[in-house]
Amino acid sequence: MNPSKCAFGVTSGKFLGFIIRQRDIEIEQAKIDAILRMPKPRNIHELKSLQGNIHLVSKANPLKYVMAKLVLLDMLARWYLQMQQFEITYVPQKAVKGQVLANFLVNHPTPAEWELSNDLPNEDVLVIEVTPPWKMYFDGASHKEGAGAGVVFATSEKEVLPYFFKLIQNCSNNIAEYQVLILGLEIAIDAKQLPLKVYGNTQLVVNQLRGLYEVKKPELLPYHNYAKRLMG
């Protein structure tokens, strides 16, 4: 008996949301009407809500399988041939979301007159501590029994570190001042406490090192040059 000529014969059926007939494939009319009645999205939120209702994109994995894999069943083969006349492309949901974001950025560019802000977030957490430099006080004096010298360091933690020396060779007060200055600078360099603020008791030595006074005595010149080299 030919079912196409009988009123009670089954000539169609549903498969993957489509109506399969003997000669063609149709989309269910109720779904077409539902799509036509849907309002157009007015903003980005409604557009995202619309994406969840696109079953062809988000839930049509069987359709992707049929169109991408080798079909062995006779019924699926006929259905696959019928679908070749339609331009149907499988699009994953992530690609649709990415395109929506790209379109949003294109439609809402950053104005050219906007200025970049230099404000740093969490400013109360970002702390840069600058340690103040050490201070060095030096003084030297010469007398008949020899020359004495003293250096006192004041650290950044307000600690006092005194150093006292006795110079064996007899020398002038200015040479004693240079010698104790050199000893103090060498101690600071070994302790890696540079830069260093230096204070002296003799204005002649201090002003010569600052370049305000000229070094006229030849016996002071070697000490002066070596101290300048240490001060770098």
pLDDT digits (tens, 9 = 90+) for 120-154: 555 554 556 678 888 988 887 665 566 667 888 99
Q: Give domain status of residue 5, yes or no.
A: no
Which CATH number does the domain housing residue 160 bear?
Answer: 3.30.420.10
Q: Give domain status of residue 112, yes or no.
A: no
Q: Are residues 71 and 138 in the same domain?
A: no
Is the predicted pLDDT of residue 221 greater than 80, yes or no? yes
Domain of 103 in residue numbering reads as 11-107
Would you list the DSSP string of 91-154? --HHHHHHHHHHHHHHHSPPPTTPPPP-PPSSTTT-----PPPEEEEEEEEEETTEEEEEEEEE
Q: Give domain status of residue 125, yes or no.
A: no
Kindly report the average pLDDT of the chain as a whole number.
71
**Burial of 184 per CB tally in 10 Å (0-12, 13-18, 19+):** buried
Percent of the chain with pLDDT over 90: 9
Q: Give domain status of residue 99, yes or no.
A: yes
Tokens of 108: 């809402």
Q: Please report which helix (H) or strand (E) contains residue 199, including its range.
A: strand 196-200
Q: Are residues 138 and 99 in the same domain?
A: no
For residue 9, the model assigns a pLDDT of 46
Q: How many domains does the chain divide into?
A: 2
Q: Are residues 74 and 157 in the same domain?
A: no
Q: Give domain status of residue 43, yes or no.
A: yes
Q: Are residues 98 and 178 in the same domain?
A: no
Q: Are residues 75 and 148 in the same domain?
A: no
For residue 157, the model assigns a pLDDT of 84
